[in-house]
Amino acid sequence: MSNYRFFEEYNQETTENLKQKYSDILLGLGEDITREGIIKTPERASKAMQFLTQGYDQDPAAVLKSAMFAEDYHDMVIIKDIELYSLCEHHILPFFGKAHIAYIPNGHIVGLSKIPRVVDIFARRLQVQERLTHDILECINTTLEPKGVAVVIEASHMCMMMRGVQKQNSVTTTSGFRGQFEKIETRNEFLKLISNDLG
């Protein structure tokens, strides 16, 4: 017998409120909400939506500040291929892909795991890719005050793949640059490094 127990904590009032609304949606679609496969769906959907939007309750700047260290390092730091999953605010359908982020320290570095955490916090909100890119960029730039920041996001959008134009292989790329990355030579170095397979 396994002693594994998965535990997630949710606000009970919010869970019940959303559960009722999901029941109404399923009824509106003509579903039988009493059948075996559906009976627990409103509660599952309620908890799933709370999980997928938990970024509203988290402070990305505080995450960065919790792991800032004084360090005399002035070269580019790159974290590439950061997986991200978000929900499009227009249709509440997923978009997913990878973020590539670089910064040039200005007296402080940050724990490497904190950059992906910042990505997750902003992604776990209803988003558009353009704003997600900007949010991540400005948070790092304002909090770390580095010499430069660069963010590139490549993502596939289910609203384009499942409905609308139904284009299965399209990828949307957005980017933002601050400080030294506004110089073409620094930007090109970054873009070359994230496009190369360094392994």
- Residue 157's beta-bridge partner residues? 95
Beta-carbon contacts of 30 under 8 Å, excluding residues fewer than 6 positions away, are none
- The one catalytic residue in 89, 130, 145, 182 is 89
- In whole angstroms, give the CA distance from residue 57 to residue 50: 10
- The one catalytic residue in 16, 138, 154, 159 is 159
Question: Is 88 a known active-site residue?
Answer: yes
- The one catalytic residue in 50, 100, 139, 157 is 157
- The one catalytic residue in 54, 91, 134, 154 is 91
- The one catalytic residue in 50, 88, 139, 180 is 88
Question: Is 74 a known active-site residue?
Answer: no
Question: Is 134 a known active-site residue?
Answer: no
What 3 state SS string does 116-169 have? HHHHHHHHCCEECHHHHHHHHHHHHHHHHCCCEEEEEEEEEEHHHHCCCCCCCC
- In whole angstroms, give the CA distance from residue 30 to residue 55: 32
Question: Is 90 a known active-site residue?
Answer: yes
- The one catalytic residue in 71, 74, 90, 130 is 90
What six digits make up the tokens of 18?
């959303």
- In whole angstroms, give the CA distance from residue 77 to residue 90: 34
- In whole angstroms, give the CA distance from residue 93 to residue 173: 18
- The one catalytic residue in 100, 129, 139, 180 is 129
Catalytic positions, written as ranges: 88-91, 129, 157, 159
